[in-house]
Every structure is written in structure tokens, then in C-alpha cells.
């Protein structure tokens, strides 16, 4: 769970806050924050109660908009419903954060539907709003989305430019996890355009951060990328060593290694062990 709570603890927290048949002490913001907990516990009745309460106690148009936004997500509403909310939010007083969030979500929907031009334009609009209100965390998310869209459009120049700006922002925020992810994303872009030296340096930096934070998933992403670079250069020995290091980290942490990692090491082992063709045979 995102809250690092066990289901039992989450249930206790929800019980304390919403028990007794009254939620009068819960404001709109808290009610909306509790909805993901209720969803993870598959308590659909409580989700509905929290949504209704969030809307009822909303004191501003913006709070009402946030409640409406969450309700649309719960019912998996159509794209048109989000577009209407985005238009309404634009006209609300002091609702820039809501407007940016809804537009960001719309961009994600466009991206999922393969409407890349629309996704790019909407993501750029959301990012501009977040830049205006200096929402640095939101800007980092917006840049990551814009980078993803650019890569899908095979516009690596834009992806690298936006990714570099995102990395600089995350460094200023001292967000090590974000930097780890941004470095790996940039490395992939550099590899795509054939800048293998730059890609290797970025993957190494991402790996160093992942190791310092003991994040296995981050280590795997960086090592996987380094193995890709080694294979491009037909250095299968290095590729296998890099992936073996990843496997050993999972073993040391007593964590099951992903099946694709084991399969790739197996494939590389077989490739390395293939007998060379004997040119002396007639």
C-alpha cells in the first residue's frame, strides 16, 4: 500500500476516523485522502460515503471540484467528463492546482488512447500552470509525462531537453528517488540516439543512487540498461556479469528475482557457451 500500512492498520485508521456513524470532523481534503485506503480494503460503501461527505462539506468551488474529480475516477468516467471538469476548473477562482491536475489526468487518458498530439498539448498546458504556481513536485510529474509523450512520438530531442530540465529540478529538490528515475529515463533516450557513452554514464549514476538507497527495482533498471549497452557492443560477458550482479542483490535481500532477469541471464549463458564454427571443416 502506498501508505506503508498493513490492511489491518488501514482498517483501524478508517474505523477511528469514520466510525460511530458520523464523519462531521472530517473535512473535504481528509475525506478524499481516505478514499484510496477504503478502495484498497474494497469497502465500496465507505468509498461512496466519503465521496458524498467530501462534496457535502466542501467550502469552496475548488474543494467541490476536487470531490468531483475523485468521483469521476472512482466511476471510471469518460474522457468527455474530465474535459468538462477541466473547463469548469479554468473558470474557478484560485483553482490552479485543480486545473493542472485535471489536465494532467486528461493527458494521461489521451496517451493511453494513443492520441499523442492531444496528450502533448494537454500535458504542456498542465505543466505551464504548475510552473506559474511554482508547484515543483507537480512540475516534476508533468515533465515526466511530457517526456514519455515525446518518446512515443520519437522526438528524442524534446525528450532529452525536458528530461534534463526535470533532472535539474529534482536535484534542486534533493529528491534522490526522482533523480534515480530521471537519470535512467535520460539514459534510455541517449541510447536511442546512439550516444552510448552518455547513456552509460547516466545509467551508472542512477545505479549509484539506487545502491545507496538499497532500491532493488532501481538497481535492476540501471543494470538492465547497462546490459543492453553491452549487448549492442556484442560484449556478452559484461552483459551477463552486470545482470548477475542484479540477481545477487535480489538473493542477498532474500527477495524473489524477476523471471525476465533469470531468463535473460540463461539466454546470455547459452549464447556465450555456443561453440565457435570450425572453419577447418570441409
- Kindly tell me the burial class for residue 183, based on how many C-beta atoms sit within 10 Å of its own C-beta (0-12, 13-18, 19 or more): buried
Q: Is residue 69 part of a domain?
A: no
Domain end among 60, 90, 111: 60
pLDDT at 5: 63
Q: Which residue has the higher pLDDT, 41 or 84?
A: 84
pLDDT at residue 107 greater than cutoff 70: yes
What is the tally of structural domains in the chain?
Answer: 3
pLDDT at 13: 67
Distances (CA, A) of 146 to 130, 149, 203, 230: 13, 5, 21, 29
Alpha carbon distance 77, 235 (integer Å): 50
Domain holding 188: CATH number? 1.25.40.10
pLDDT at residue 142 greater than cutoff 70: yes
pLDDT band at 116; cut points 50, 70, 90: very high
Contact yes or no for 160/189 (Cβ under 8 A): yes
Alpha carbon distance 132, 213 (integer Å): 32
Q: What is the pLDDT of residues 197-251, one digit of tens each?
A: 999 999 999 999 999 999 999 999 999 999 999 999 999 999 999 999 999 999 9
pTM (2 decimals)?
0.86
Distances (CA, A) of 81 to 87, 129, 239: 10, 21, 48
To the nearest 5 percent, what fractions of the chain are helix, strand and coil?
80, 0, 20
Q: Is residue 31 part of a domain?
A: yes
Per this entry, what is the length of the chain? 282
Dihedral sign, CA of 230, 233, 238, 243? Answer: positive
94 and 167, same structural domain?
Answer: yes
pLDDT band at 141; cut points 50, 70, 90: very high
pLDDT band at 2; cut points 50, 70, 90: very low
Q: What is the pLDDT of residues 50-64, one digit of tens each?
A: 999 999 999 999 999
Domain end among 174, 207, 222: 174
Amino acid at each position: 500500500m502506498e501508505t506503508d500500512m498493513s490492511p489491518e492498520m488501514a482498517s483501524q485508521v478508517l474505523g477511528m476516523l469514520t466510525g460511530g456513524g458520523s464523519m462531521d470532523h472530517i473535512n473535504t481534503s481528509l475525506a478524499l485522502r481516505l478514499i484510496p485506503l477504503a478502495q484498497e480494503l474494497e469497502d465500496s460503501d465507505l468509498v461512496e460515503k466519503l465521496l458524498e461527505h467530501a462534496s457535502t462539506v466542501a467550502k469552496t468551488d475548488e474543494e467541490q471540484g476536487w470531490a468531483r474529480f475523485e468521483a469521476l475516477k472512482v466511476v471510471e468516467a469518460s474522457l468527455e467528463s474530465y474535459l468538462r471538469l477541466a473547463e469548469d476548473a479554468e473558470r474557478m477562482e484560485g483553482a490552479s492546482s485543480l486545473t493542472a491536475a485535471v489536465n494532467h489526468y486528461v493527458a494521461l487518458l489521451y496517451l493511453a488512447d494513443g492520441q499523442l498530439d492531444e496528450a502533448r498539448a494537454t500535458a504542456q498546458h498542465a505543466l505551464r500552470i504548475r510552473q506559474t504556481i511554482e508547484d515543483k513536485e507537480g512540475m516534476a510529474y508533468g515533465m515526466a509525462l511530457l517526456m514519455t509523450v515525446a518518446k512515443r512520438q520519437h522526438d528524442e530531442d524534446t525528450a532529452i531537453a525536458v528530461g534534463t530540465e526535470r533532472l535539474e529540478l529534482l536535484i534542486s529538490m534533493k529528491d534522490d528517488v526522482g533523480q534515480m528515475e530521471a537519470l535512467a529515463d535520460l539514459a534510455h533516450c541517449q541510447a536511442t540516439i546512439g550516444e552510448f557513452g552518455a547513456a552509460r554514464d547516466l545509467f551508472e549514476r542512477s545505479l549509484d543512487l539506487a545502491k545507496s538507497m538499497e532500491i532493488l527495482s532501481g538497481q535492476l533498471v540501471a543494470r538492465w540498461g547497462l546490459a543492453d549497452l553491452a549487448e549492442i557492443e556484442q560484449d556478452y560477458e559484461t552483459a551477463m556479469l552486470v545482470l548477475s550482479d542484479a540477481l545477487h542483490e535480489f538473493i542477498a535481500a532474500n527477495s524473489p528475482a524477476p523471471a525476465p532477469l533469470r531468463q535473460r541471464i540463461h539466454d546470455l549463458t547459452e549464447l556465450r557457451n555456443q561453440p565457435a564454427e570450425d572453419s577447418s571443416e570441409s
